[in-house]
A and B are shown apart, each in its own frame.
Chain A
Amino acid sequence: MDTTRLIQKSEFEWWLEATPPMRVPGILYASEALLREMDDKVLEQMANVASLPGIVQAVYAMPDAHWGYGFPIGGVAAFREDDGVVSAGGVGFDISCGVRTLHTGLTVEDLAPLKEDLAQGLFRHVPAGVGSIGKIHLEPAEMDAMLQGGAEWAVKRGYGRREDLERIEEHGRMEGARPELVSEQAKRRQADEMGTLGSGNHYLEVQQVTEVFDAAVAEAFGVAVGDVLVSIHSGSRGLGHQVATDYGRRMIEAAHKYGLELADLELACAPIQSEEGQAYLGAMRAAINCALANRQILTHLAREAFAYLLPRADLRLIYDVSHNTAKLETHLVNGQPQRLYVHRKGATRALGPGHPDLPDAFKAVGQPVLIGGTMGTASYILVGTPESEARSFSSSCHGAGRAMSRHQALKQWRGKELVRELGRQGIIVRSPSPRGVAEEAPGAYKDVTAVVDAAHAAGLSRKVARLEPLICIKG
């Protein structure tokens, strides 16, 4: 990225001035090194988003931002409830894709003798990869119940525990879902995909805590060095993808109908108060519930695999966060509370201490922010800060973010060799596709530690613990 177009406000804060037709500035939180790696298209996309009606304060880019479609990935933008817009491209294709992390109650010593067996057990038990199907087939009425109930539906059907729900955003169930506004095609895409991991950067990882940066917060989250955790990265599967496709198309027509000028068709949006805007929100919330239900079923499958080999394990959910959402939230704008639709595309909500939406266990410290790794590199747990409210509508980064295209990665690595190399480092990788592993090579991603350090230094969230992979099941 050409940083000469930016004004540097501090070491980790850079401004793109609001020049017409932009209504607000663009603010990037990153080190200079990360900015230099970012595509120039990120700036172009931020300027486009900043030009949309009803946007408030600024459009933000997180340290892991990269070129998306319409909105940058790692982008955050909030719109006024009365005259703002909602954009399907501002949420993305994998609605509510996110991460949940569980504590196993085990230490690395407990796991060591059974590590290989557990890797095989998880790989056999958790459907992953292109074309894989789950054991659950949803008939239409049950599909609608799932879309209305989210993780709460899953728990009622026996996939998980009641107490899991406290540790999920929205308590596991997004209000305002409208299953009847989700197309038949979307439902058909999901009929056999419940409890499947997906492919690409989705994974189930067994990890060890290798470092604690903030002992008090780590204690509140229940993690200590040497503990074994499980992280699951997955989303709303085919249903969410199809909702994005259906409403992206519909919003192009809506934008034309309401006279919204689009610099890019992927910016297609509709006024929040329009029929199309409300319909998208209802369908998107149903897709959020689909993602929450899916991660809940995946959790159940992980628990079954552990129980078979390590009956002493007790997989307790630490927290579940979503990355691709548009949520109605109250934030201070110029000192006044305002109801805003906050789009987070490839960004995590990072509520600071005392926020009423936090579970009681985290009220004093803030929300866990779960940052996914890349199969061979670290993951992190961070915590929301009081400052992130003013900095970015309480948002932080979501992962490493790709630095290299799939094509480049495929030229540079061979899947089987990579699995062997990671094995030498003590990381067992199981995947149905060596090509998929090569495309997802850790080297194809940005340095997650640099991303997390930038989020920490910029005050978006603070580092709590570092996790290293032991077993990775890739889609």
Chain B
Amino acid sequence: MTTQLGRWEHFYHQADVGVRGIGPTLDAAFEQVALALTAVVTDPALVRPTQAVVIECEASRVSLLLVNWLNRLIYEMATRRMLFSRFEVHVSPPDLGGALSLYARAWGETVDPERHQPAVEVKGATYSELEVTQNPEGLWVVQCVVDV
């Protein structure tokens, strides 16, 4: 699974949490940053990937696409009361209108307070510390701060 490629981490923010995904492809980095998002709420290993949700979004720039992707996930988490632990992301190059599009599937389950011990809900992904770059090893690094 592409979700096994790369890694995620949190980075320092005094009040909120920075989420970062690192992967050999942009798709993999977007998958990893989604795991970092789940990890703000609970340990992703506790979330069973039993139910799939399709997410689509677009944006004029790849950095804005990252924020839209995380915000769509936050919306699905809030309205379905779900947590997600497995992701498959496909980012398509700009179409004729110049927009990048994202098609993804996210697998997870309904929040179980006993088992997941969810710490905090995420209110939204912000443009703070927003970056989409390739590091010297050629890995994609995508990040931003999420408001909790």
9 inter-chain pairs at a CB distance below 8 angstroms, sorted by A residue, are A66-B15, A69-B16, A69-B128, A131-B121, A199-B121, A266-B126, A432-B113, A433-B113, A435-B119
Beyond the given A132-B113, A245-B125, please list 9 additional residue pairs across the A-B interface where CB-CB is below 8 A: A66-B15, A93-B124, A131-B118, A241-B123, A244-B123, A266-B127, A402-B15, A432-B113, A439-B119
**A189 on interface, CB distance cutoff 8 Å:** yes
**A94 on interface, CB distance cutoff 8 Å:** yes
**B135 on interface, CB distance cutoff 8 Å:** no
**B120 on interface, CB distance cutoff 8 Å:** yes
- Which chain B positions have C-beta within 8 A of A19? none
Choose from B14, B67, B71, B130 the contact partner of A67 (Cβ within 8 Å): B14
Decide: A242 near B127, CB < 8 A? Known: A131-B111, A199-B120, A252-B64.
no
**B148 on interface, CB distance cutoff 8 Å:** yes
The residue on B at minimum CB distance from A133 is B81
In the complex, what's the smallest C-beta–C-beta distance from B18 to chain A, in angstroms?
9
Docked pose: A405 CA to B42 CA in angstroms:
16
- Which chain B positions have C-beta within 8 A of A265? 127, 130
Query: How many chain B residues have a CB neighbour from A under 8 Å?
Result: 36
Residues 236-247 of chain A: 1 if any B CB is under 8 Å from the residue's CB, otherwise 0? Answer: 001001101100
Q: Is B145 within 8 A of A407, CB to CB?
A: no
Q: Is A69 within 8 A of B81, CB to CB?
A: no
User: A415-433: which residues lie under 8 A (CB-CB) from chain B?
Assistant: 432-433
Q: Is A66 within 8 A of B14, CB to CB?
A: yes
Q: Is B124 within 8 A of A131, CB to CB?
A: no
Choose from B10, B75, B113, B121 the contact partner of A200 (Cβ within 8 Å): B121
**B41 on interface, CB distance cutoff 8 Å:** yes
Q: Is A200 within 8 A of B120, CB to CB?
A: yes
Docked pose: A404 CA to B110 CA in angstroms:
30
Decide: A439 near B14, CB < 8 A? Known: A70-B128, A131-B81.
no
**A403 on interface, CB distance cutoff 8 Å:** yes
Choose from A73, A264, A433 the contact partner of B118 (Cβ within 8 Å): A433
In the complex, what's the smallest C-beta–C-beta distance from B49 to chain A, in angstroms?
17
Decide: A264 near B127, CB < 8 A? Known: A131-B111, A435-B117.
yes
Docked pose: A439 CA to B41 CA in angstroms:
11
Docked pose: A427 CA to B81 CA in angstroms:
31
A-B contact count (CB 8 A): 124
User: A43-94: which residues lie under 8 A (CB-CB) from chain B?
Assistant: 66-70, 73, 89, 92-94
The residue on B at minimum CB distance from A193 is B78
Decide: A405 near B13, CB < 8 A? Known: A188-B79, A266-B126.
yes
**A268 on interface, CB distance cutoff 8 Å:** yes
- Which chain B positions have C-beta within 8 A of A66? 14-15
Choose from B41, B71, B111 the contact partner of A245 (Cβ within 8 Å): B71
Residues 327-355 of chain A: 1 if any B CB is under 8 Å from the residue's CB, otherwise 0? Answer: 00000000000000000000000000000
Interface size class of A (residues with CB under 8 A): 35 or more
In the complex, what's the smallest C-beta–C-beta distance from A131 to chain B, in angstroms?
3
Q: Is B118 within 8 A of A436, CB to CB?
A: yes
**A185 on interface, CB distance cutoff 8 Å:** yes
In the complex, what's the smallest C-beta–C-beta distance from B102 to chain A, in angstroms?
15
The residue on B at minimum CB distance from A236 is B123
- Which chain B positions have C-beta within 8 A of A406? 17, 119-120, 148
- Which chain B positions have C-beta within 8 A of A376? none
Q: Is A69 within 8 A of B119, CB to CB?
A: no
Decide: A93 near B75, CB < 8 A? Known: A67-B15, A69-B128, A131-B81.
no
The residue on A at minimum CB distance from B13 is A405
The residue on B at minimum CB distance from A268 is B127
Q: Which residue, B16, B119, B128, has most C-beta atoms of chain A within 10 A?
A: B119
- Which chain A positions have C-beta within 8 A of B111? 130-131
User: B72-86: which residues lie under 8 A (CB-CB) from chain A?
Assistant: 74-75, 78-79, 81
In the complex, what's the smallest C-beta–C-beta distance from B124 to chain A, in angstroms?
4
Choose from B67, B71, B123, B128 the contact partner of A94 (Cβ within 8 Å): B123
- Which chain A positions have C-beta within 8 A of B121? 130-131, 198-200
- Which chain A positions have C-beta within 8 A of B12? 405, 407
- Which chain B positions have C-beta within 8 A of A438? 119
In the complex, what's the smallest C-beta–C-beta distance from A451 to chain B, in angstroms?
14
CB-CB nearest 10 A-B residue pairs: A131-B111, A265-B127, A69-B128, A130-B118, A241-B123, A435-B119, A93-B123, A436-B119, A69-B126, A93-B147
Decide: A39 near B75, CB < 8 A? Known: A198-B121, A406-B120.
no
Residues 245-288 of chain A: 1 if any B CB is under 8 Å from the residue's CB, otherwise 0? Answer: 10011001000000000001110100000000000000000000
**A121 on interface, CB distance cutoff 8 Å:** no
Q: Which residue, A70, A92, A133, A199, has most C-beta atoms of chain B within 10 A?
A: A199
**A160 on interface, CB distance cutoff 8 Å:** no
**A129 on interface, CB distance cutoff 8 Å:** yes
Choose from A73, A133, A248 the contact partner of B127 (Cβ within 8 Å): A248
